[in-house]
Structures are given as C-alpha cells and as structure tokens.
Chains A and B, each alone.
Chain A
C-alpha cells in the first residue's frame, strides 16, 4: 500500500510492515496504525515509525542495543499481556530519537521504548521499570553508558 510520509512524500509499504497500536503512543493517542520503513542515507539505513493516518506523528527510531549495549528492558506483566506476549524475548524493542539542530545532542528515549510483537502485529509504547534509564539518553555526550 502507499502511505503519505512526513519526510519523503508517498512511500510504498508492505502489509507486514503495518502495526496496530490500540492505545496510540503517548501524546498521540488518536493514531492507532503505524508503518515501519527504512531509508538509506550515505550507506546508513534509518528506520521510521510513521502514522498511516497522519504525516505527524512520525519518529526516527533505532535499535537500543546499537547505542546502549546490554539494554535490558523490564516490562510490567500488564504491558506484556497488552502486547500478547508471554516474555520480552517475543518482542522487538525500538527507541525514539530526538534530533535537535546540533546533532551531537541527539537523545534517545530508552525509558519508554516502542514494543512490537511481530506475531500479533501489535505495538505499544511502554514505560520501563528500569530506574536507571532516562527519556533523554544522549549517546554522543554520555561518555559511559547509563549517564544521567
């Protein structure tokens, strides 16, 4: 199917790239269907979560392990059940990037990742129980992981 994207106009999306977010994402509760797609710039493949209903919200997203080795999300039973999963191992975790004009200040929300269940095609944004994770983890400024 074709969807209208925030940054790239019309993009073709395969059906299996669609995820149902029954509760939306925080701050955008009306958007309940999202598509995941890639775009490559200078050999770097970027990943996006784009609302199918509106051009905003759209998020640039990353795999947390690429920036935070040993990422170990602690999910509540309620969140697991809402994703239709028995264990975190059945789920894909992705984190939203916030990229200001000065790119070295880019931050990742490792406290509230997006959780996707590839079997049920259900997605959800969760707030983890890990006290050390913050909503604005700055990988290019924090010299050691877990910095405040």
Chain B
C-alpha cells in the first residue's frame, strides 16, 4: 500500500480528475472531501462489505443442511 502523509487542507490527486482533501483531523476521526466526476462510485468500505455479505447469505438450504447446522450448534453448545 502506498502511504502518504498529509496535513489538514492538503490534497491528493488520483488519475488527474479525482481530488481528495483532508478537511480536518479529530481524536479518532478524519473528515475527507472528495471531488470526483459523477460516474465515479464512492462507498464506505463497511457498506460494500455488508452488501456483499447479504448477497452471499441468501443461498437456498435444504432440510439436510439445516440438520447439519443444528448438529454443529449442539456440538458447540450454542443454545438458540
């Protein structure tokens, strides 16, 4: 990973047309401004991970699969 130090008010330019500016730095938060063309999608990482996790979690299961999950819960002493 490329690591660059910036101070509040300073910016970075990505591929000529995306500008990222550090607006302010707090105790455990950084405010970042992004100037980019509308076609560039910007999403918080945890949101993208959540969308992917949801899509991965809708696959169909049959009775045998649920019996196997039940057995796994019992053998790990998880009571639900």
Binding site for B on A (CB under 8 A): 6-7, 25-28, 39, 41-47, 56-60, 62-63, 66-67, 96-99, 103-104, 106-107, 109, 111-112, 125, 127, 135-136, 139-140
Contact = CB atoms under 8 A, between A and B. Distances in A.
Interface stretch (B6-14, B19-27, B33-41, B54-62): B54-62
Contacts, number: 98
B76 A97 contact: no
A6 B46 CA distance: 27
Contacts of B58: 6, 56-59
Interface in B40-60: 44, 46-47, 49-58, 60
B80 A135 contact: no
Given A45-B80, A96-B57, A106 B72 contact: yes
A28 B54 contact: yes
Contact of A112 (B50, B69, B73, B74): B50
